[in-house]
Amino acid sequence: MCFRWALNLAANWGLDSLVFSSDCQQLVKAFHCPSEFPSLAHIMLDCTQLVNSFRNFSFCFEYRQTNRVAHALAAESHLYKDCEWWGDPPVGILFVENLN
Other CB atoms within a 10 A radius of the CB of residue 16 amount to: 11
Q: Which segments within the chain are labelled E, that is strand?
A: 17-22, 56-61
Coil, helix or strand for 54?
coil
pLDDT for residue 94: 66
What pLDDT was estimated at residue 31? 93
Report pLDDT for 100: 47
CA distance 67 to 85: 19
Q: Tens-of-pLDDT digits for all 100 residues of the chain?
A: 989 999 999 999 999 999 988 888 999 999 999 889 999 989 999 999 999 999 999 999 988 777 777 777 777 767 766 666 666 766 666 666 555 4
Residue 85, pLDDT score: 65
Beta carbons of 62 and 28 less than 8 angstroms apart: no
Closest C-alpha to 62, from 32, 21, 9: 21
Q: How many CA atoms lie within 13 A of 13 on its CB side?
A: 13
Give the pLDDT confidence score for residue 45 in this predicted structure: 92
User: What pLDDT sits at residue 27?
Assistant: 93
